Amino acid sequence: MESRHSIFKSFKFAFEGVSVAFAKGRNFKIQLGIGIFAIIFGLILNLSVVELLDITLTIAIVLILELLNTAIESIVDMVSPEIQPKAKIAKDVSAAAVLIASFAAVAVGAFIFLPKVLALLF
């Protein structure tokens, strides 16, 4: 299937999506803020390139899932404005995906940061 839009317009639409998620999504802002903090903290602790890459990819996974969660919730709200059990399942399951990724991100952060921080303290 061929797109009706130029590549530049496609990028513009994608950046508009990120902008909307940032402007209207409290969780996206929180996750992005924590992600930026983690990268800055990693640079301060002089993490290896592989460790920084692991942190960056983990942050990206959480943010991607948050964007997908927002998209799913918007579609569900549009097609089912009234509360329905199946609509609730869709929204809850997409939120659960973000939750699981967030728990995994905390675990990755703990494995990478804790030894470095403990080494500085002791």
d(CA 35, CA 27): 12
Could you give the CA distance from residue 37 to residue 72 in angstroms, rounded to a whole number?
28
| DSSP string computed for 1-29 | ---SS-HHHHHHHHHHHHHHHHHH-HHHH
> 16 catalytic, yes or no?
no
Name the active-site residue from 16, 51, 66, 73. Answer: 66
Q: Are 70 and 25 in contact (CB under 8 A)?
A: yes
Residues assigned a catalytic role: 66
